[in-house]
Amino acid sequence: MDFGRLITAMVTPFDEQGEVAWTQVPPLIDMLIERQRTQSIVVFGTTGESPTLSDEEKIKLLDLAVRHAAGRCSIIAGTGSNDTKHSIELTREAEKAGADGVLLVVPYYNRPNQDGLYAHFAAVAQATKLPVMLYNVPSRTASNLEAETTLRLAQLPNVVAVKECGPTEQVAYIAANAPEGFRVYSGDDTASLSALSVGAYGIVSVASHVVGARMSEMLAAHAGGEADQAAAVYHSLLPVFKGLFACPHPVPNPVAVKYALQLRGFEVGGVRLPLVEAAEDEKRYIERFMADFD
């Protein structure tokens, strides 16, 4: 399964009461496909505020995304959690709903060792026929899926990719030693070009909500051997990459990108507690870098 080079981890639209704004999902998907040129969409990943979505909301969101995308892009369901049994159940529901693949995050809070991580991912992968993308994000999970464990999991027939937010040398080692066809994706927009330079295939992005078309240009230039052009595009996008996560000090994702989308005319609402909306100085900062990019 090839999910393409540009994957967007989609926000979940909410209304003023904090409920899922179902009518806003289709136009958001259309915009990501048609304007931002995303090739796959992750629904209810971290950017989609998965910890505060119920299973019922997740499956309804997935069903809507699958039906509306109608094959125009792949739909990946974020079915990972720190409860293996629950991840298996949600993954099976995602398979029934027509997902094209699943994204499985490293179990958070429990802090399993590498044998536990392998056993967790293997159990979920073996419970489904769907392609599996692993998701290593040590800054959120307090555990690092080490490169050797990723490579061991890559031997399983339906474990096809990893979204890697670890150090560049880990990206490089996995890319150099993975079986043929296994894809490594950068999970950090800011680190995307350095990850590509050491063997990453693509990006699972937040910034692609607002600069996806330009990111596609960067990816195409890099894949085509035009390193200088890829670097030039990257440098032009860096203020957006950095600004969405540090405006003017670090803010939790997806607070900034939801406000950036609002500035672009897409009403995706606010965030659910325990997240809170951007403060006024943060909003002014977002407005400035978005205006500079426009």
The model's confidence at residue 1, banded by pLDDT at 50, 70 and 90, is confident
How confident is the model at residue 247, as a pLDDT? Answer: 63
The active-site residue, picked from 163, 201, 234, 285, is 163
How confident is the model at residue 294, as a pLDDT? Answer: 62
pLDDT in tens, 86-96: 999 999 999 99
Q: Tokens for 229?
A: 């052009």
Instruction: Write down the residue that tokens 């607002």 correspond to.
Output: 210
Could you confirm whether 283 is annotated as catalytic? no
Q: Tokens for 249?
A: 């000090």
Q: Tokens for 253?
A: 């994702």
**Better-predicted residue by pLDDT, 130 or 245:** 130
User: Residue 104 pLDDT more than 80?
Assistant: yes
Instruction: Write down the residue that tokens 């996008």 correspond to.
Output: 237
∠ CA 208-212-217, rounded to 5°: 140
Mean pLDDT across the chain = 96
What whole-number distance in Å separates Cα of residue 157 and Cα of residue 54?
A: 30
pLDDT in tens, 24-41: 999 999 999 999 999 999
Question: How far does the chain reach from its first CA to its final CA, in angstroms?
Answer: 35
Q: What are phi and psi of 140, to 5 degrees?
A: -100, -30
How confident is the model at residue 162, as a pLDDT? Answer: 98
Assess contact for 12 and 48: CB atoms under 8 A.
yes
How confident is the model at residue 233, as a pLDDT? Answer: 97
The model's confidence at residue 133, banded by pLDDT at 50, 70 and 90, is very high
What whole-number distance in Å separates Cα of residue 42 and Cα of residue 233?
A: 24
pLDDT in tens, 268-281: 999 999 999 999 99
The active-site residue, picked from 118, 135, 173, 185, is 135
Which value, in Å, is the radius of gyration of the alpha carbons in the chain?
Answer: 18
What whole-number distance in Å separates Cα of residue 47 and Cα of residue 30?
A: 18
pLDDT in tens, 144-180: 999 999 999 999 999 999 999 989 999 999 999 999 9
Could you confirm whether 108 is annotated as catalytic? no
For 6-236, the fitting CATH number among 3.20.20.70, 3.30.413.10, 3.30.300.30, 2.130.10.10 is 3.20.20.70
Assess contact for 141 and 112: CB atoms under 8 A.
no
pLDDT in tens, 208-224: 999 999 999 999 999 99
User: Residue 248 pLDDT more than 70?
Assistant: no
Q: Where are the domains of the chain?
A: 6-236
The model's confidence at residue 292, banded by pLDDT at 50, 70 and 90, is confident
How confident is the model at residue 250, as a pLDDT? Answer: 77
H/E element, 279: none
The model's confidence at residue 246, banded by pLDDT at 50, 70 and 90, is confident
